[in-house]
Amino acid sequence: MASNNHFFEGAEKLLEVWFLRTEDGQDLRDIAREDWEEVLKTVRCQIISTIKNDSQDAYLLSESSMFVSDRRFILKTCGTTLLHNALPLMLDLAKKKCGLHAVEDIFYSRKNFMRPELQHNMHRSFEEEVIILEKLFEDGAAYCLGRMNGDCWYLYTTNNPDSSKPGQVEPDQTLEIMMMDLEPDAMKLFHKNSIDPAEIAKISGIADLEPGILIDDFLFEPCGYSMNGLLPDGAYMNIHVTPEKDFSYASFETNVSKKSYTNLVKRVLNVFKPGRFVMTLFANMGSQLFSAQENGGSGDHAKLTSEVYPGDTTFEDKIFDYQRQDWQASKFSNYYLTFCNYAKVKTKPS
């Protein structure tokens, strides 16, 4: 195993907070960059660059990404960052600068770490993380999906009931793919001096994952890659790559709206060629994944609502030469969640 001096934890800590909409249209994007910089100092990361569109601001960080829209805040950090330090400061900023007092939904999630002993005490175990979150939020619930002795995924979320009818719910969905044991040849692009950094997205195929995407990316020294992408109507995408062979890891996340993510998942796998991966999909009842069912189709989550789930295409038993190892589905107050774990099928020697 790699020594402490030659190891980087690629698996991210991911925090997403939604505030209740106010009548006077308060907006988290009114918070100044210098205020966000002060928050991020406590997390032990900093802003590298920023892109914006009509819907949201995307911050590329020294350790991953941050997205800010009118009432949603997303912070995703890797390595040994102290993400939980951001929460009380961010909640205070939202209250004082924007008049946003009430949290509608919170999601904190991460894959299990490869080297948890290298994390700060607050992130060394999921149990410790939950203790901190419970001090800030009421009626929270903590979950572990997957194998305790293998690849698993932790989630903490609040249980706020939503009385809205499906047609009144603001559509929301998030697909995340966490990939390990990446093909070394595919990782050569993500080392400094391999090619012009501006060409990485084009040559790797990242630029073709979703048409019309505005990309902000960065190649780290001596290796490592981060990308934020913005699309119309509040959609985003982010990718982070830790290419070192002994602890290779890449993540892909997007909230782009689709009836099925099958083709997008296959395009992502073609870029990184992992040995194994974990995939999660969140969706509320306003998402196209459910409207497909209402229109007589079969979206990725449609069969879940009729309790006839498996069989949809995104989470099929086999994708390329990856075999599904685990599959779990959950229903929360406002969202449905599907979790799957895949590994490349090993061919037996002849």
Q: Active-site positions? A: 64, 78, 226, 240
Take residue 332 and report the two structure tokens written for it: 């929360």
Q: What is the signed CA dihedral for 233, 107, 116, 330, rounded to 10 degrees?
A: -100
| 127 annotated ligand-binding residue | no
Q: Could you tell me if 250 and 179 are in contact, meaning their C-beta atoms sit under 8 angstroms apart?
A: yes
| Helix residue spans in 69-209 (DSSP H) | 86-98, 126-134, 184-187, 200-204
Q: What letter represents residue 89's amino acid?
A: L
Distance between CA atoms of 244 and 224, rounded to whole angstroms?
A: 8
Contact indicator for 118, 4 with CB cutoff of 8 Å: yes
User: What length is written for the chain?
Assistant: 350
Q: Are 172 and 71 contacting, i.e. CB atoms less than 8 angstroms apart?
A: no
Crossing angle between the packed helical segments 33-43 and 86-98, to the nearest 10 degrees = 160
Q: Which two tokens stand for residue 112?
A: 């299990």
Classified as helix, coil or strand, 197 is helix
Q: Is 245 helix (H, G, I), strand (E, B) or coil?
A: helix
Q: Is 272 assigned to a binding site?
A: no
Are the CB atoms for 182 and 272 separated by under 8 Å? Answer: yes
Between CA 149 and CA 102 the distance in angstroms is 38
**326 contacts 339 by C-beta, under 8 angstroms:** yes
Find the angle CA(53)-CA(79)-CA(223) to the nearest 5 degrees.
75
Give the pair of three-digit tokens for residue 341.
């774990």
> What secondary structure letter does DSSP report for 248?
-
Q: What are phi and psi of 185, to 5 degrees?
A: -65, -35
Q: Is the N-terminal amide bond of 222 cis, ω within 30° of 0?
A: yes
Confirm or deny that 332 is annotated as ligand binding: no
220 is in an annotated binding site: yes
Q: Which residues are annotated as a binding site for substrate?
A: 8, 63, 220, 244
Q: Which residues are annotated as a binding site?
A: 8, 63, 220, 244
